[in-house]
Each structure stands twice: as structure tokens, then as C-alpha cells.
Chain A
Amino acid sequence: MAGGLAVRIAHLYPDLMNLYGDRGNVIAIYRRCQWHGLAPELLRITLDEKVDFRDFDILFVGGGQDKEQKQICMDFTKVKGAALSDAVEDGVVLLAICGGYQLLGKYYRTGTGEEIPGIGLLDAWTEAGRKRLIGNVVISSDLVRVGSDHTVVGFENHSGKTFLGKGLRPLGRVLLGFGNNGEDGMEGAVYRNCIGTYLHGSLLPKNPALTDYLIGASLRRRYGEAQLKPLDDTIESIAHEAAIHRARQPVGR
């Protein structure tokens, strides 16, 4: 691993925003970097730390409980928001899940009509829903391709319903499950190298093609090109297929 290209990964609020095994995504990025012969470096960044995120290659933020989400909301909009936007405009890879995804949008409207501002990096907004959208999800995404397969699998558990503005691309089309809002058949959002999504499970370990897409994008930004050799993903593929199979069955039986 020594001598490999450095990949700087930042895990934002690992202490506060790690609701549904979100750290699995960071583990997946870190391990696959190692297996690709790169030299990953992981930094944890929490409240009140002012950072120039352009120095990093891959940023990750997960979901949190309501109380913690409020805490980081202030930090997100006041302390880190501008730096995050600058980094994404500069091509830095950012993956945001669930609560993190919601905070990248323009606002979150609560059940009482109160609007909690996001950083507005994504032309998207979220409204509190009455029903929790829970279950296994399969989507089809142009970002990944394994043979002719474009599927991404995960598990969703959210009550907020997110809607995308006209110019914003979704991460994929929902094949099974609810997605962004359970209404328009879209899941997640993609802007430059930033992906927001409701999928956890954890998301990346069972979708190695998506993980490699993120690593590849970060290498292209810093080093101009990226040649990732295929890894032995036998176990990951079995889990991917099993998750699709499970999503077709009734939940919990």
C-alpha cells in the first residue's frame, strides 16, 4: 500500500450522524482503496471545525436522530456550508445519506410548517411526511454498470419526502421500494460528484460498482486519470443479488 496514490477521506460528524450503520460506507471506501493499491487516509470532522474541504478527495455524511440533526444543522449552515459547496463545485466527491442528504437541499419543512434551512447545494427540498417509508429498495442508476446491470440496492427508513427541482438529476429510478418521496419514482440526487440518497444498509458495501465509481471520480479530479483494476467481488455480488431477491418478498416474513 505504501507508495500508492493518496486518497483523503473525511467522515463528517461520525459521533453524531451515524444512525443506520452509516460508517459501513466509510469502511467500504477505505477498504476498497486499500485493495486497489491506493493509500487512503481517514479524518473525522465534527462540530465547530472549520475545514477547507477542497483538500479532501471524498467526503461522507450520514443520518442522525432529530436532536443531533438539529445540532449539526446549525453547524452545517453556519460553519461548514460554504466550504462544502466550494468543494463540490471543485469536483470533490461527497456522499450524503438520509439526514445528511436532506441538509444539502434548500430546506426541510416540518409537520408544523416551520422551515429549517439547508445549505442549498442541491436544488431539492424536503417535507415532513405522515408515514414512514421503510423497506428494501432497488433502483436503476446510470452511474453504475456491471455487464448490463445498473441496479443499486439498499434499505430506506425515512418520513421526510424529498423533491428535486427541474434541473437536478436523480441517482436512479425506483424499481422496488419508495425512494425520495414514494410518489415520483425517483431516488436520490446527483450534482457534479455529489450524491445524496436515502439508501443505507449500508449502501456501498453491497454496491461495489458505486464505491469504485466514487473512488474513480476522486482520482480523476486529483490525478487526471483513474484506472481501477477489477477486484474479486464474488461475495459482494451474492449479497447484491440476495438483496434484490429479498426486496421482491413481503417485508419481515
Chain B
Amino acid sequence: MDLRLLFAIWCGKLTVRLSRAMGGGGSTVPGRVALAIDPLVIRKLAYQCRRGAILVTGTNGKTTTSKMVSDILRRARYRVVHNRSGANLIYGVAAAFVQAANVFGRIRADYALVEVDEGTVRKVVDQLPLKAVLVTNFFRDQLDRFGELDHTVQLVSEGLSRAPYDALIALNADDPLVAGLGPGRPQRILYYGIEDSHYASPISEQSREIKPCQACGATLKYDSFFYAHLGRYRCPSCGQTRPTPTVSVQQVALRGVEGSDMILRTDTGDFKVNITFPGLYNVYNALAAAAVTHGLGIPDHTVATGLAKSAGSFGRMEVIRVDGKRVLLALVKNPAGIDAVIRTVLEDRRARHMVIAINDKFADGTDISWLWDGDFERLSASDHPPESVITSGIRAADMAVRLKYSGYPARRITIKNSLDDALQEGLARIDHGETLYFLPTYTAMLEVREIIRRRGYTRHFWRV
């Protein structure tokens, strides 16, 4: 009997209760407590998972992709321990295991599904019985936290070097920074990518997104872009090209807020998948989830039904019903993410009013200059820009300035620092049956969900 482990679990569980009683979500503090008592708590519990662990990392799409992976695994009748709700630092991981363990220190699960940000990969890699690692994409995100992008890629690369040789590594072929992690590794590498060029454009929205070749440093040439620096590329200098994906999207049709239809191809055949998540970036998330589960031997039809049944995860993109109106909450945290959300808003030609709520607390990133890298010009120059935008949060005025300089008419911008006021004003502007697009940063999202809960709307929660 491991008394240290038991004590760590008991104290962790007690902290969950205390923290919930005091109104907190209990997603990291219990992990801190448990790790302080037993630093090996993750390792001891993770190694009890019968089939091993799956690690998901990358800048954008971790939470949604993990949710999809989890839904596919459950569809295949596996039991999954998963650190949900986006608390993906090491404490969040520990907290998830502590909560899943029983008071005797046992975990009954087949898979541990662990999503961590790029900086945490190295810290957990040795503590998990790794079967697979999935890397989604690399974008610039909160530079004040990880330093620079090259450094971020380096952190993940070092983590992968410590993964066991029999683990599967699933990499995004369309992101040269991710695909560049593949060559020369002893592990089994599985690439995934989009082959349908219907939504590709010949030019990048912003030239700044072109990345240097990971092998030789020369500037990459692109035949087409999906978004940001994701696309079909090749290096004119060393000849490195986008790897041919094993799991790919052969055809895709976006249906706006309703979701997307696609045809996936694996080495066992083609099959149709419908997802209820909107936007091309969620097509990537579904593709990534399909790739890693396919690589673990889950049959194609189970992958398809798992994805079809998967539903929105904690505020990444979810719809809340409020008195016959709808609020679509879409988390924004970096330029690539906000570009993807802007695209999705514009796909809905009925979208008339928006709220953008920008906080600059630690969890949001204290430096808000990333707003200037977001493609708000696309929103303003659209043939159907929103009729009005309310900016909110601590840096509401900065957001208003950004919109004004993107060419959006200043008289259609309202600044309301209070999120409660912004939500009420936004709801007042839309009619019954309409959708208010609400784009908060992380802490603003937590705040607005709390406002919604206090107002008693949570019971009518409706997920995309």
C-alpha cells in the first residue's frame, strides 16, 4: 500500500470539495496539493491505465481535438481519464487523475488522454505510459509565457525525443513547423492533412505567416494556403516538401454554424463524417482526432460515429439559448484563432451583432499586441460586415481602436468594459431567433459564463 499516494489523493479530493464549496471550478488547486504531497502522483496513476496514454499538444485546437478523441474512444467502449476544461498545465493533469482515482488509489481506465500546452510536454512525457502523441499546429500565442515560437517548437521536439520508440506520433502535414518534427525519429510517424483544395487560397491572408523551412532555413514556397501558414508548401532550396498524409480529408463542405461534412481517407478506405462544429479549423481538429485514433487501431466506422456524436467543449465554441435568442461563445486567444473565428462569423450571412471581450490577465496573456496581428481587416472589408460591435473587458478600448484602424466605422463601435453590460446590450440588439456572436479571451469567457449561470440560463445550455 502506497500511503503517500493515498494521502495525496485524499487531500486532492478534499481540496476539490473545498474549492467547489467556495465557488471555484477546482481544476488546478487539487493538482498542486496532490503533487506537493506525492510528486509521482501522475506517474503512479497513469501507469494503471491498461492501454496507455495519449498526449495532445499544439497551440490551437487541443481541447476540442481531445474532446473528439475522447468521444471516439468511448464509442469504441474504452474508459478514458481525461484532463478536460482546458486546465492543461501540469497541475490540471494531476487534478484530473486525482479526481478519477478512487479512495484506494486505483484508476479503472483503458486510456489516459492528456492535453498539455507546448511548454508542459517535457514535464509529463516521462510520467506517462505513452502510446501516442498528437501535435495539432504551432502558432504564436502569448509570447510572454513561452518566449518565441522557435523555442516553443524546440520544447515539443525535445519532448518527442523522450517518447518511447513504440509510440505513435501523429503530425499535421499541412503545418511545416509540425511536419518538420517528423524526419529522423525512430517512432512510427503518421501524417494527416487536407487534400481538398476547395477552401484553399493561392495567397496567404498575411505574408507574415510564411515560415522558414525547418530543415534548411530557406523561405518556403506555397502552392496554396488553408489558413495562416497551413497549406501546401515546398522548400525551393533543399527540396523538402509537405509529407503525403496517411489520413486525409478528401472532400469537405462547410455548413456555417451548423457544422461541416467531409470525406476522410485512411489506408483502410474512404468514409463520410459529419461534425457539428463550425469552421475549417474544426475540420482540422476532427481530422487530427481521426488520425490518432485510426493509428491506435480504432475502426473507421467507430471514428465516424464518435466524431458525429461529439459536441462542443467548454466555451471553445458553444451556443447558449437565452429567451428565444442565441449567444454563440467562441474563445479567442491568438491571431490564428481569432482569424478562424472571424471566418466562421462571416460564413453566417445572418450575423448582425458582435461582442468582443478582451482581458489581459495572466491566463489571457498580459500583452495584447496580438490583436494587431488578427485579420480584422477581413471583417471590415467584407461585403456584409456586422452592423455593430460592442467591445468589452479590461482592454475594451484597445479592441475598439483595433477595429477602428481596420476600417470599421467608429460610430458602430460601443465600448462597455463590464461584461454584464456588454451581454445585455448585445442581447437587446438582436431579435428572437437571432444569434449574438460573443468572442471572449479566456478569463473573459469564465466571467461571462458565470454571468450566464447567475442569470439562470445554464439550464438551457445548448451545445453546438
Contact = CB atoms under 8 A, between A and B. Distances in A.
B275 interface: no
Nearest to B404: A235
A21 B366 contact: no
B371 A28 contact: no
B419 to A, nearest CB: 15
Contact of B210 (A15, A22, A239): A15
Contacts of A67: 150, 212, 217
Contacts, number: 102
Interface string B260-298: 000000000000000000000000000000000000000
Shortest Cβ-Cβ A-B pairs, 7 listed = A24-B372, A21-B372, A21-B369, A239-B397, A252-B362, A65-B148, A20-B369
Nearest to B219: A15
Interface residues of B, number: 37
Contacts of B37: none
Contacts of B400: 235, 238-239
A-side interface size class: 35 or more
A17 B398 CA distance: 22
Interface string B395-406: 111101110111
A206 B404 CA distance: 12
Interface string B176-210: 00000000000000000000000000000001101
Given A18-B208, A65-B150, A206-B401, A134 B366 contact: yes
Interface of A: 14-15, 18-24, 27-28, 31, 44, 65-67, 134-135, 155, 157, 200-202, 205-206, 232, 234-236, 238-239, 241-243, 246, 251-253
B354 to A, nearest CB: 17
A236 B399 CA distance: 10
A236 B410 CA distance: 11
B453 interface: no
Given A21-B372, A202-B372, A242 B144 contact: no
B143 interface: yes
B413 interface: yes
B348 interface: no
B431 interface: no
Given A134-B144, A134-B366, A242-B395, A15 B208 contact: yes
A235 B367 contact: no
23 contacts: A15-B208, A15-B210, A20-B367, A21-B369, A22-B369, A23-B372, A24-B369, A24-B372, A44-B207, A66-B150, A67-B150, A155-B367, A155-B369, A157-B367, A201-B367, A202-B369, A205-B401, A238-B400, A242-B397, A246-B360, A246-B395, A252-B366, A253-B362
